[in-house]
Amino acid sequence: MSKLKLIFSDFHLGKGKRLANGAMNPLEDFFHDYRFKEFLEHYTQSPYEDFDIELILNGDILNLIQIDYHGHFTSVITESVSQTKIQSIIQGHPVFFNSLRDFLNHPKRALTYVIGNHDQEMLWQGTRQLFEGAIGKEVNWKNSYYQTDGIHVEHGHQYESVNRVDPTRLFLTEGLPEPILNLPWGTLFTIQFIVRLKLIRPAVDKIRPFRHFIWWSIFHDTWMSITQGIKLISYFISTRFSKVRYRQSSLKLTFKILFEASVFPDLSDAARKILRMPDIHTVVFGHTHVYKQLPIGDEKQYLNTGSWTDIISMDLENFARRSRLTYVRVEYDPQGKSIPMLRHWIGRTPIEDDAFGI
């Protein structure tokens, strides 16, 4: 029996590259709807027509934490708030969702969704139903990780203190009229600070290492650096001494957050620990936005799917703005053993596109 698995992460779909009034959307990160459509169409043609193909979306496919709710960015996220937000993403990316629907309209197609930190709102049953309605297929939902055929698939945010979600307390209910999501500090920081900064400097969350950007801004964007620096200090103080118990941040965590934001995240050590399990030969992470293939020990490996969004590296060894459409393709040998490989989709479309997405 011929079968494949195709693993992606970190698409960061927003409300679309143009807003309802025709203006460009500075919060949109995903501009490859047609290339994704072409990718899926490729796997419906010969020799793949009758293959069993499973798509695995490994977190941060939807950039829900950077979607407004009726014009406001709120960190008090109820199920109804999340439902409104995901509807705006579906409306903003019709090509993406229609392509998924067409691809999955086949008895030998399946979709698994592993939740990340930017799409934590997919924990709600209501958002899951809306997503499934948009693609016309039931989804195999995974809150933390997915193990299949010797492969461990996980987004990777749980290995950073900034973005770690408490798996025993996904929702907050005490003293509240209805449940809300229990957000990690990194998500709160994104909603309450980064989103507002991104509205005036859209590339700010794409730059790594962030410390280089800080120094560049001090000399070349001085007034912005001063004003945003003051706001940043004020924000850290307010969260450090917040009167809202579940929104507090310890001083130790605050400094750890600043350090983690200044470097490329590296999940290699986490992968090594998982690979100690005898029945796992490959770990697939996302989250870092940096594609990677690392052999570990005998016949084991760590793969990172990278991202289909831009990365702006200010590191001298990797200085560039780049967007590589990377993914993991899992083939099977005649004995049924899985063979995961890091791949790069090139494709042929679009011939031209809006320069805003370049």
How large is the average pLDDT for residues 87-93? 98
Identify the band that residue 64 occupies on the pLDDT scale cut at 50, 70 and 90.
Answer: very high
Q: How far apart are CA 200 and CA 22, in angstroms?
A: 18
Q: How many angstroms separate the first and last alpha carbons of the chain?
A: 41
Residue 287 DSSP class: S
- Asked if residue 132 is part of any domain, the answer here is yes
Render pLDDT for 206-231 as a digit per residue (tens, 0 to 9).
766 566 666 666 666 676 667 766 77
Mean local confidence (pLDDT), 62-73: 96
Cα-based angle 190, 287, 72 (whole degrees, multiple of 5): 25
The answer to whether residue 218 is domain-embedded is no
pLDDT, the chain, mean: 87
Q: Check which CATH number belongs to the domain holding 169 and give it.
A: 3.60.21
What pLDDT does residue 245 have? 45
Asked whether residue 317 is assigned to any structural domain, the reply reads yes
Does pLDDT of 42 surpass 80?
yes
Q: List the one residue out of 275, 249, 276 whose CA is nearest residue 184.
A: 249
- More confident: 236 or 185: 185
Closest CA to 201 of 182, 221, 187, 219: 221
Predicted local confidence at residue 216, as pLDDT: 62
Answer yes or no: is 235 within a domain.
Answer: no
Over residues 178-184, mean pLDDT: 96
E strands within the chain? 3-8, 52-58, 109-114, 140-142, 145-148, 151-154, 171-172, 180-181, 207-208, 282-285, 292-295, 301-304, 311-313, 320-322, 326-332, 338-344
Its domain, for residue 93, covers: 3-208+257-357
Sheet holding 311-313, edge to edge: 207-208, 311-313, 320-322
Q: What is the mean pLDDT of residues 158-186?
A: 93
pLDDT higher for 78 or 189?
78
Whether residue 154 lies inside any domain: the answer is: yes
In this structure, is residue 15 part of a structural domain? yes
Neighbours of 336 (CB within 10 A): 9
Q: What mean pLDDT comes out for the span 196-213? A: 70
pLDDT at 52 over 50: yes
pLDDT digits (tens, 9 = 90+) for 252-283: 666 666 555 545 678 999 999 999 999 999 99
Is the peptide bond preceding residue 350 cis, with omega within 30 degrees of 0? yes
Q: Is the pLDDT of residue 305 over 70?
A: yes
pLDDT at 88: 97
Residue 68 lies in a domain: yes
User: Mean pLDDT over residues 58-85, rounded?
Assistant: 97
| Res 186: pLDDT | 87
* Radius of gyration for the chain, computed over Cα atoms and rounded to the nearest angstrom: 20
Higher pLDDT: 64 or 252? It is: 64
pLDDT (0 to 100) of residue 261: 54
Domain count for the chain, please give it: 1
* Model pLDDT, residue 262: 47
Task: Give the confidence band of 333 by pLDDT, cuts at 50, 70, 90.
Answer: very high
Overall average pLDDT of the 156-171 stretch: 93
Give the H/E segment covering residue 199. Answer: helix 195-200
Contact at 8 Å (CB) between 4 and 54? yes
Residue 225 belongs to a domain: no
Host H or E run for residue 216: helix 210-220
**Confidence at 140, pLDDT banded by 50, 70, 90:** very high
Is the pLDDT confidence value at 350 over 70?
no
The pLDDT tens digits of the residues spanning 17-37 come to 988 888 889 999 999 999 999
Q: Among 108, 91, 92, which Cα is nearest to 55's?
A: 108
